[in-house]
């Protein structure tokens, strides 16, 4: 089952400075990690972009999703990453925590060199890059992220394995493309103008989510909710049948009794994913 989240590149438009914008994106990355999001897609909102450079949101989110021991190797120094020190640690289970250094643990690595003898050098957070043979059924290139199974650190015993990297992927795509993916599953627009998320409705949605093999949940930006971004009348958004105009299966209000005039996007992520990932 695949869980995807869509956020606009105007997500940080109201931030007063780059530090605050980076902190906000850290909360988004935390929500994606906590609720096991597989793919975080940044979609364009040309009319809502703020003062930050093109690609700022995607770059910071991709940095946040990179395991700490690979960040220096993969990113170096970039203007967009000036304040990444304020990002909260994600503590992805397969990267950190109890047992992460134990026998048979999986670690992410980056291929630093490809040799002619069927071996590669991989930086996976150990004291030095390690040389590993490439399995016959794998094809890797320099700069590629790979998964390494470490069975011993002293002496080093490790091997490349064909396993998905942990955490979430960050990609860039427009809304139509993201909603039309084969693995999009149930597509939900999070909006205060959607139908209220009641206990009965959430039970029905959990069944639909499981039947369709996952879900895609889209969010808007500060002062630019999805109706504004899509240029649709808030009072006309679909709430029961598939909304062919916007491509969503339904519009849902996951904070129906909000006490604040505005629910920030990062807050909406936690509220929405908390109830939409419930199991029966």
E strand segments, the chain: 2-8, 39-43, 105-114, 119-123, 130-133, 145-153, 156-161, 169-172, 186-196, 214-218, 250-253
| Tally of CA atoms within 13 A in the half-sphere of 51 that contains its CB | 7
pLDDT in tens, the chain (280 residues): 899 999 999 999 999 999 999 999 999 999 999 999 999 999 999 888 777 778 999 999 999 999 898 898 889 899 999 999 999 999 887 654 334 444 567 888 889 899 988 899 999 888 788 999 999 889 889 888 888 998 888 888 899 988 777 789 999 999 999 999 999 999 999 999 999 999 999 999 999 999 999 999 999 998 899 999 999 988 878 555 555 678 899 999 999 999 998 899 999 999 999 999 998 7
How far is 165 from 181, CA to CA, in rounded Å? 21
pLDDT of residue 207: 94
pLDDT of residue 166: 77
pLDDT of residue 90: 93
Cα–Cα nearest to 206, from 185, 221, 224? 185
pLDDT of residue 97: 35
Q: How many CB atoms lie under 10 A from the CB of residue 16?
A: 8
pLDDT of residue 101: 45
pLDDT of residue 230: 92
Task: State the greatest distance between any 2 C-alpha atoms of the chain, in Å, as a whole number.
Answer: 65
How far is 26 from 211, CA to CA, in rounded Å? 32
157 forms beta bridges with: 152
How far is 187 from 151, CA to CA, in rounded Å? 41
Orientation angle between helical segments 56-65 and 18-34, nearest 10 degrees: 50
- Whether the full predicted model's pTM is greater than 0.95, yes or no, is no
How far is 211 from 23, CA to CA, in rounded Å? 36
Q: How many CB atoms lie under 10 A from the CB of residue 241?
A: 8
pLDDT of residue 42: 97
CA–chain centroid gap for 251, Å, is 21
Cα-based distances in Å from 156 to 55, 112, 149, 151: 39, 18, 11, 8
Inter-residue contact 148 to 183 (CB < 8 Å): no
pLDDT of residue 243: 58
3-state helix, strand, coil in the chain (%, to 5): 30, 25, 45
- Tokens standing for residue 87: 């990002």
- Tokens standing for residue 135: 């399995």
In the chain, pLDDT over 90 holds for what percent of residues?
60
Query: What is the three-class DSSP state of 211?
Result: helix
Inter-residue contact 123 to 70 (CB < 8 Å): yes
Q: Pseudo-torsion of CA 203, 204, 210, 212, nearest 10°?
A: -160
Q: What is the pLDDT of residues 200-257, one digit of tens each?
A: 999 999 999 999 999 999 999 988 999 999 999 888 785 555 556 788 999 999 999 9
């Amino acid at each position: 089952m695949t869980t995807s989240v869509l956020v606009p590149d105007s997500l940080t438009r109201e931030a007063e400075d780059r530090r605050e914008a980076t902190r906000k994106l850290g909360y988004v990355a935390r929500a994606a990690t906590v609720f096991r999001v597989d793919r975080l897609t940044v979609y364009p909102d040309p009319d809502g972009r703020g003062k930050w450079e093109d690609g700022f949101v995607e770059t910071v989110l991709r940095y946040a999703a990179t395991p700490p021991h690979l960040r220096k190797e993969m990113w170096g120094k970039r203007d967009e990453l000036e304040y990444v020190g304020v990002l909260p640690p994600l503590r992805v289970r397969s990267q950190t925590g109890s047992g992460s250094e134990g026998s048979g643990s999986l670690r992410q690595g980056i291929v630093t060199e490809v040799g002619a003898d069927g071996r590669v050098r991989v930086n996976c957070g150990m004291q030095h890059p390690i040389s590993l043979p490439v399995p016959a059924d794998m094809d890797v290139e320099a700069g590629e992220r790979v998964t390494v199974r470490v069975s011993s650190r002293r002496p080093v015993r490790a091997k490349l394995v064909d396993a998905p990297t942990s955490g979430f992927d960050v990609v860039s795509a427009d809304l139509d493309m993201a909603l039309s993916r084969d693995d999009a599953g149930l597509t939900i627009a999070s909006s205060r103008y959607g139908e209220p998320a009641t206990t009965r409705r959430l039970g029905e949605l959990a069944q639909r989510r499981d039947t369709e093999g996952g879900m895609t949940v889209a969010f808007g930006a500060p002062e630019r909710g999805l109706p504004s971004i899509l240029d649709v009348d808030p009072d006309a958004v679909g709430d029961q049948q598939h909304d062919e105009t916007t491509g969503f299966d339904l519009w849902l209000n996951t904070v129906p009794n909000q006490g604040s005039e505005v629910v920030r996007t990062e807050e909406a992520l936690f509220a929405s994913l908390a109830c939409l990932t419930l199991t029966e």
